[in-house]
C-alpha cells in the first residue's frame, strides 16, 4: 500500500498487519475495528499514528489538547470527559461520537460532521463550529458561550438547558431543534443576524 491514495476509504475491520503505509493518503479513512500492528503504525506520520492509536486502543489516556486532527475519521468513538482544549478537528468525521462532559474550549471544529453526537454537559466555550453538521446531536446542558456556529446545521438538535450566550448563530439552521425556548441566548447573534437582548 506504499504511496496509495486511501482518502475516504472504508477499511473497517481490515487486517493491516505488516502493511507499509508510508506515503499513503489516509484523509478521512474509516479505520473502525481494524487489525494493525505496531510495525505498520510506525510507517505513517505522527498524526496518523495518533489516529490509529485512538481507533485501536481508545482515546482515554491520549494527550489530545492542541493536536491537529483535521480531516480524520473518528466516528463512533468515545471521548467522555476528555480534555480536548484547542484541538483542531476541522472537516473531520465525528458522527455518532460520545463527547459527554468533554472540554473543547478554543477548539477548531470548522465544517466538522458531528451528526448524532452526544455533547451532554460538554464545554464548548469559544469554539469555532462554523459550517459544522450538528444535526440530531445532544447538546443538553452544553456550554456554547461565545461559540461561532455561523452556518452550522443544528436540525433536530436537543439543546435543552444549553448556554449559547453571546454565540454567533448567523445563518445557522435550527429547524426542529429541541427546545429553543429553554436555551440561554443572551447576547447571541440569531440566524437572521439580529442580536438577542
How does the average pLDDT of the chain come out, rounded?
Answer: 93
Q: Is the pLDDT of residue 68 over 70?
A: yes
For residues 118-126, average pLDDT? 97
Q: Which residue has the higher pLDDT, 3 or 82?
A: 82
pLDDT tens digits, residue range 181-193? 688 999 999 888 8
Instruction: Assess if CATH 2.160.20.80 describes domain 64-197.
Output: yes
- pLDDT band at residue 176, thresholds of 50, 70 and 90? confident
Confidence tier at 37 by pLDDT (50, 70, 90): very high
Whether 21 and 7 have beta carbons less than 8 Å apart is answered as: no
pLDDT value, residue 191: 87
- What's the whole-number mean pLDDT along residues 88-111? 97
Question: What's the pLDDT at 180?
Answer: 62
Q: Where do you find CATH 2.160.20.80 in the chain? A: 64-197
User: pTM of the prediction?
Assistant: 0.92
Q: Which residues have CB under 8 Å from 194's CB, separation 6+? A: none
Amino acid at each position: 500500500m506504499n504511496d496509495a491514495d486511501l482518502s475516504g476509504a472504508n477499511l473497517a475491520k481490515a487486517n493491516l498487519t505488516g502493511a507499509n503505509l508510508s506515503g499513503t493518503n489516509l484523509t478521512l479513512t474509516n479505520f473502525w475495528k481494524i487489525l494493525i500492528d505496531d510495525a505498520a503504525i510506525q510507517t505513517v506520520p505522527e498524526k496518523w499514528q495518533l489516529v490509529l492509536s485512538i481507533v485501536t486502543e481508545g482515546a482515554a489516556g491520549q494527550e489530545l489538547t492542541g493536536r491537529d486532527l483535521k480531516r480524520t475519521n473518528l466516528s463512533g468513538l468515545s471521548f467522555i470527559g476528555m480534555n480536548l482544549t484547542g484541538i483542531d478537528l476541522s472537516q473531520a468525521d465525528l458522527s455518532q461520537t460520545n463527547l459527554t462532559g468533554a472540554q473543547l474550549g478554543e477548539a477548531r471544529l470548522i465544517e466538522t460532521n458531528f451528526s448524532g453526537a452526544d455533547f451532554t454537559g460538554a464545554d464548548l466555550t469559544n469554539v469555532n463550529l462554523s459550517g459544522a453538521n450538528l444535526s440530531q446531536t445532544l447538546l443538553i446542558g452544553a456550554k456554547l458561550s461565545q461559540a461561532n456556529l455561523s452556518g452550522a446545521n443544528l436540525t433536530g438538535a436537543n439543546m435543552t438547558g444549553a448556554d449559547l450566550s453571546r454565540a454567533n448563530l448567523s445563518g445557522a439552521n435550527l429547524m426542529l431543534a429541541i427546545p429553543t425556548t429553554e436555551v440561554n441566548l443572551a447576547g447571541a447573534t440569531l440566524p437572521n443576524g439580529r442580536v438577542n437582548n
